[in-house]
Amino acid sequence: MNPSSPDALDKLIQAICGSAKYSQLAPSLVARVAAEELEKRGEYKAALKAARTRLHQVTGAFLAPEINYAKWSDILKSIPPENPEELQAFCRRMMRLHNSTAERLPYVDHFFQTCLADIAPINSILDLACGLNPLALPWMPLAPGCTYLACDVILPMLSFLNHFFRAASAQGEAFPCDLSSEIPRQEVQLAILLKTLPCLDQLDKSLSARLLSQIRAEHILVSYPSKSLGGREKGMRQTYSQQFARLMEGARFHVREFNFPTEMVFLLSR
């Protein structure tokens, strides 16, 4: 089969989605990575391997394997309403399942309070490539009735987050969005882009700059990891500081900077 034929691409996409892990991802992301790898490798087997590796790097690498969302939803349902302590304990347990939120847990009590102090209380949020970060909602300085929109590419996680918003009586909605093919247009007070730009860079080097200029938000909370998943520094702080400085060249944001043990954070205001 000619690798550049539509049939070859369909066959590759089907093979990728044959694995439960990748069938749960937004289809446009799978199709994009499959097409790019087929073009680059020119050969089915190598393209399949490379596409799976890349999809794992941008999505699965952060999450505990095989999360039973139905089980977590059942636990959530068993929490009596109006019991904030039990809900917070649940959120803490579940945030351990995603590396980014797990790393933030030791300082989640003051993370959002510190970074958002100057613009709180927040009326509307758009959490982009959210992972399990919406579970940190009880620690955010929100105005009553705050709208919380959240998107990512992992479909069962998004369904679970919609259960969570209902259980937490939040005005929230989680929806699938592959940022490499679409930038959400909703207008909000605060967009959140935590530890996500390095990941999106692996899909499209021009995406970070486009996101920052096209997101319709008064403020954008951006962060970068300052340690690797294994906990080592590996010069990440310096690398990402330089990357962020390049991104800000010619951009007209007022920037405030915050530092946490595993994360460097910037609050950008228009």
Ligand X SMILES: C[S@@+](CC[C@H](N)C(=O)[O-])C[C@H]1O[C@@H](n2cnc3c(N)ncnc32)[C@H](O)[C@@H]1O
Smallest gap from residue 120 Cβ to ligand X (A): 20
168 binds ligand X, rule: CB under 6 A: no
Smallest gap from residue 78 Cβ to ligand X (A): 25
* Coil, strand or helix at 7: helix
Cα–Cα dist 95/104, whole Å? 9
The interface mask with ligand X, positions 1-40, x = CB under 6 A, is ----------------------------x-----------
State the distance between the two ends of the chain, measured CA to CA, in whole angstroms. Answer: 51
The interface mask with ligand X, positions 173-192, x = CB under 6 A, is ----xxxx------------
76 binds ligand X, rule: CB under 6 A: no
Q: How many residues bind ligand X (CB under 6 A)?
A: 22
Give DSSP secondary structure letters for 214-252.
Answer: HS-EEEEEEEEESS-TTS--TTHHHHHHHHHHHHHTT--
- Choose between 12 and 176: whose C-beta lies nearer to ligand X: 176
Taking CB under 6 A as the criterion, which residues in 100-119 touch ligand X? 100-101
Cα–Cα dist 193/181, whole Å? 17
**95, two tokens:** 């945030």
59 binds ligand X, rule: CB under 6 A: yes
Taking CB under 6 A as the criterion, which residues in 209-268 touch ligand X? none
Please identify which residue in the block is written with the tokens 């860079």.
Answer: 201
Give DSSP secondary structure letters for 48-109.
Answer: HHHHHHHHHHHTGGGBPSS--HHHHHHHHHTSPTT-HHHHHHHHHHHHTTBHHHHHHGGGHH
- Choose between 44 and 114: whose C-beta lies nearer to ligand X: 114
Q: How far is CA 5 from CA 9, 44, 68, 156, 208, in A?
A: 7, 12, 38, 32, 31
The interface mask with ligand X, positions 190-209, x = CB under 6 A, is ----xxx--x---x------
52 binds ligand X, rule: CB under 6 A: no
Would you tell me which residues interact with ligand X (CB under 6 A)?
29, 58-59, 62, 100-101, 129-131, 133, 152-154, 177-180, 194-196, 199, 203
